[in-house]
Amino acid sequence: MSQPTLSIADLRKSYERAELNEDASQADPLKQFDQWLTEAIAAEVPEPNAMTLATVASNLRPSTRIVLIKGYDERGITWFTNYDSRKGHELAGNPYAALQFHWVELERVVRIEGVVEKVSAEESDAYFNSRPLDSRIGAWASPQSEVITGRGVLVANAAKYGAKFLLQPPRPPHWGGYRLKPDNWQFWQGRKSRLHDRLRYTLQSDAVWLRERLAP
């Protein structure tokens, strides 16, 4: 193994782009998220819609993967995937999950925790039918998270389902949307000297969000 010219332990970055304080932040975390996501899109950061999804299996082992946000409103954060995947099985056994956005270029992180539920069949149908044809065929072709003998399995499956459904593949019964209903948000803004800004929003019993500053 080649030796890096610079030790990993010596890698440093000074965060000096922006600040996050209580006076300038939104009282509603959803509005704060909307502001930051809008700014990330406007800044043309790579894949601003990519988020890490963390789930926990019945054996208490956590796992993470990247998924793409497809919607957000007062009901929660929505994405779509294969229900028979590892994350699908883990969410079926434990519906609590966490999401994280990391917009490196803006020196920002958003963390979201809450309970996850499936969206309605109608909502899953509407989004599935809006996808490109190859993505719709791909939802049939990939037995996500299962062991396969090689890429040829996917290619063959795609050809089979493409011939079967032509231009109108229906939504597979094992594919659809999830929505995380947040009860905890954290917004992190990198600051100089590692004195970062970190605001937490916690949902109270009266449906009001408590905003607090945490030490970085």
Q: What is the rounded end-to-end Cα distance, in angstroms, of the chain?
A: 35
Active-site residue (options: 65, 108, 194, 200): 194
Backbone angles phi, psi at 136, to 5 degrees: -65, -40
From CA 184, how far away is CA 180, in angstroms rounded? 11
179 among known catalytic residues? no
Active-site positions?
194
